[in-house]
Amino acid sequence: MQTQNFEIPTELRDIAEKSVDQARNAVGALMTNAHKAADQFQKGGQTFQDTLQAAVAKGFDHAQANASAAFDHVQKLVRSKDLREAYEIQAEYVRSQFSTLQAQAKEFGNLAQSAASR
């Protein structure tokens, strides 16, 4: 018994070969884009980590400065001779701390803005 030879038409082989090439190119592009996305994610994560570390350090600096100012203020109050002097010391402290808190908030805002622009 003889087996019949079945030949695949040339046009069908050409279409199959083009399909394989297109699939190979599509997967290659997908992998390239996946690598780019992973790199961007890693850079973004590093930026976030750097910004968070800077914000924490800045927060500790501000907390220490604010605590020091509060202790200095209380010490001045304790040394005041009368209510009028105590009131003036208190008013000056409030003005000073309001200005300090505005500057500290601005520093945090600048830190956030620089992180967002990276």
Query: Do residues 100 and 64 lie in contact, with contact meaning Cβ atoms separated by under 8 Å?
Result: no
pLDDT for 88 equals 95
pLDDT for 118 equals 67
Distance CA 111, CA 23 (A): 46
| 106 SS3 class | helix
Token pair in block for residue 94: 């409030």
pLDDT for 1 equals 57
pLDDT for 22 equals 95
- 75 occurs within a structural domain: yes
- 78 occurs within a structural domain: yes
pLDDT for 3 equals 67
Token pair in block for residue 46: 């590093």
Domain count, the chain: 1
- 4 occurs within a structural domain: no
Question: How high is the mean pLDDT in each 10-residue block of the chain (118 residues)?
Answer: 76 92 94 90 82 89 94 94 94 96 92 78
Question: Which of 103, 118, 110 minimizes the C-alpha distance to 54?
Answer: 110
Domain membership of residue 18 as a residue range: 10-116
Q: Which amino acid is at 10?
A: T
Q: What is the pTM of this model?
A: 0.62
- 2 occurs within a structural domain: no
- 5 occurs within a structural domain: no
Distance CA 92, CA 60 (A): 24
